[in-house]
Amino acid sequence: MKRRDFIRKSATVTVASGALFSMGSWSPLMASGHRLASPFDLVAIKNGDPIAMFDAGIAVLGGMKTFVKANQTVVVKPNIGWDSPPERAANTNPDVVGRIVKHCLDAGAKKVMVFDNTCDEWTRCYKNSGIEKAVKDNGGQMVTGKTEGHYHEVDIPKGVVLKKTKVHELILESDVFINVPVIKNHGGATMSLTMKNLMGVVWDRGYYHKNDLHQCIADFTTFKKPDLNVVDGFRAMMRNGPRGVSVADVSEKKYQLISRDMVAIDTAATKIFGMEPERVAHIGLAEKLGSGTTNLDSLNIKRISI
């Protein structure tokens, strides 16, 4: 009898929680509206290891406490798309992901969760990217991005092409959203940076590819802006991206960028990569939609060389 009760109860919990998730109407209004308390719009750090660069960069922004308050939940979205080791730079550097997790927990976060809707088989991606270990070692949790039930449809009223899409519930529910891409060349999207990385929080990527990839990438920036973007430029994949063929595709740039403005940070990252930002269509399209500025001269940039 007891066991039966348990099963019945647990089934109720499951059904109820599923219903709860699907009933809520998610809108951009629910996104937390942090404002950068620091005088800098963009922090660029170079010549250090990923951990030292993040420590130095977040310090000039007043530390992680500026973004994460006590008892808040945090979702970190690195690029974990590929079954590929850190030195191939197909995924975000595990050290910087681990460090961000640590800073969040030190700032009092209740929990820090990390996920990606991977391209290769997800358990292998989590493991071989080194990110799973880095996150767990620093007290964070890995969550799968491969369960469709975790994604809920949202409206994107300002989207030109992408009007609706299913977004992972961690992005919708968490108090703080930190976006951590790696600098990569991309065969289709020209560059893979903060905006392209957000394709990993939606379920149906095929829709993007079918319906003007660049416009869809730009459209999604009007739905939700991360509270913080950290671009890992320690290693950059210079060609054959986004998966890469060998370590020969990788150049050690030793850069890191931190900003809330996805357009600005992607503009800066494209320059670090060595390309004119005008050639990356989604950067310009996102600026047109009011998601940020490509005019770096208008911004207050802090440059740190370690």
Q: Which residues bind another protein (CB under 8 A)?
A: 10-11, 13-14, 16-18, 44, 46, 83, 111, 113, 119-121, 123-124, 128, 141-144, 146-147, 149, 186-190, 205-207, 209-215, 238-243, 245-246, 248-251, 267-268, 271-272, 274, 279, 281, 296, 301, 303
Query: Residue 31 or 281: which CB sits closer to another protein?
Result: 281
In the bound complex, what is the minimum distance in angstroms from residue 67's beta carbon to another protein?
21
Q: Where are the beta strands (DSSP E) in 181-218?
A: 182-186, 190-192
Query: Residue 11 or 37: which CB sits closer to another protein?
Result: 11
Helix 213-220 to helix 281-288 angle (10° resolution) is 40
In the bound complex, what is the minimum distance in angstroms from residue 219's beta carbon to another protein?
13
Question: What one-character DSSP code corresponds to residue 112?
Answer: E
What are the φ/ψ torsions at residue 84 (nearest 5 degrees)?
-150, 140
Query: Residue 2 or 35: which CB sits closer to another protein?
Result: 2
Q: Where are the beta strands (DSSP E) in the chain?
A: 42-46, 73-78, 111-114, 141-142, 151-155, 164-168, 176-180, 182-186, 190-192, 228-237, 250-259, 301-305
In the bound complex, what is the minimum distance in angstroms from residue 157's beta carbon to another protein?
22
Query: Residue 12 or 25: which CB sits closer to another protein?
Result: 12
Euclidean distance between CA atoms 80 and 182, whole angstroms: 10
Burial per residue of 180-198, b for 16 or more beta-carbon CB atoms within 10 angstroms, e otherwise: bbbbbbbeebbbbbbbbbb
* H or E element, residue 13: helix 2-23
Query: Residue 37 or 47: which CB sits closer to another protein?
Result: 47
In the bound complex, what is the minimum distance in angstroms from residue 275's beta carbon to another protein?
10
In the bound complex, what is the minimum distance in angstroms from residue 34's beta carbon to another protein?
23
Helix 281-288 to helix 262-273 angle (10° resolution) is 160
Query: Residue 210 or 288: which CB sits closer to another protein?
Result: 210
* H or E element, residue 217: helix 213-220
In the bound complex, what is the minimum distance in angstroms from residue 237's beta carbon to another protein?
10
In the bound complex, what is the minimum distance in angstroms from residue 195's beta carbon to another protein?
13
In single-letter form, the type of residue at position 123 comes to T
The angle formed by the CA atoms of residues 54, 195 and 36, to the nearest 5 degrees, is: 50
Question: Which tokens hold the place of 63?
Answer: 């530390």
In the bound complex, what is the minimum distance in angstroms from residue 33's beta carbon to another protein?
24
Q: Which residues pair with 237 in a beta bridge?
A: 184, 250
Query: Residue 14 or 37: which CB sits closer to another protein?
Result: 14
Query: Residue 16 or 59: which CB sits closer to another protein?
Result: 16
